[in-house]
Structure 1
Amino acid sequence: MKFNPAQLEPKQVYKLLSGSVVPRPIAWVSTISKDETLNLSPFSFFTVASRQPPMLCISIGPGVGEREGTIKDTLTNIQNQKEFVINIVPTFLGNEMQQSAENVPSNVNEFELAGLTPVDSELVKPKRVKESPIQMECKLHQIINLGSDYLIIGEMVLYHIDEEFYAGNYKINLEKLRPLGRLAGNYSESADFFTLPNKDLK
């Protein structure tokens, strides 16, 4: 079988991509609006963009469901404030993450909605999720409009990690972290780890 994306609806192409590019890590992005409303939302189009300087990127599409076609609050806040925090989602915070993904009005504080604790960042204005074991403070580097979506590239300026999840020598205890991943419309838990003989893969 083969599919020509030019002959498909965007939702059909999205299903093919989101079911093939898996598992995808989840960026739990915290931002703050001009009126200082706290915002928290998960995005699974997320990866490292650069090692030096350290940069992370997330792709943000238009609103869906009740907010079909609107601009997401996360994008608006990043455009205005030029700062954000990426919090990593372990499996034990899956329910809270899912709750923060609900379509709610812009004046709703998703920290409160999900029962999470906001804590001050040190170099950026948006808050961090206290319950998340890893939080990365980011300053906006660039926003690139790509078709219907926006690629947000941010430079990581400060990295926070709970000592219980730090394995030493700048490594993460992944068995303890058990990060949540996205598999099309479902989720995956990274729990089984193994090595392969070929170590040349970067």
Structure 2
Amino acid sequence: MLIIDCHCHAGKGDGLTGPWDTDAPLAAYLKWAQEAGIQKTVLFAAFHSDYAAANRQVARLVRQSPERFYGFAFVHAQRDRGRVLEMVGTAVQQYGFVGIKCHRYDARISREICDVARAFRLPVLYDVVGEISVVELLGEQYPDVNFIIPHLGSFSDDWRAQSGLIDQLVRFPNIYTDTSGVRRFDILQRALDRVGPANSCSVPTGRGCTLASS
């Protein structure tokens, strides 16, 4: 089975407020990935004030090892409003990227992002930061777009959001998750028992392979 980690930040951010927007080097990660049997990895940028520039950084990393990496285009729903189509078009057509990444920390996901994902037939990895109610809207409004909700809905020990996302995974076939940062093994087991591995930790990419979180 091909194992693909679908959640790996890479490159340098420019915020300098914490690791998440400062630097995401790959050397240590690649060592851990090899030990875990991960053969391919989806890369997207660290938090950045200019995601067009940050996506170019990630594109350079992907070009260096195209057999090892996939790229997702990071976009900001508010700051990049009106140019998401252009940004994602560049990422897909010039960089060969295969998905979109956005984060509630930046701004709530927009219809613009979802429409662009539909147009390019791309999955969207959207970190809802515990606001799992939006998953209902995504599942209903965009049944033909695959959404990956990372961290089982909320990072670390937010078991209420994580338990709620499991219900949504059961009901919406286009909603997927990854398990990065989830520390409650009982929650992970519940997700597998109720949903199975097809939706609880993977998503089809359109390239005939499977994405699975580390």
- TM-score range, shorter-chain basis? under 0.3
Which has the larger share of strand? 1
| RCO comparison, higher one (Cα < 8 Å, 6+) | 1
TM-score (structure 2 length as normaliser): 0.26
Higher radius of gyration, 1 or 2: 1
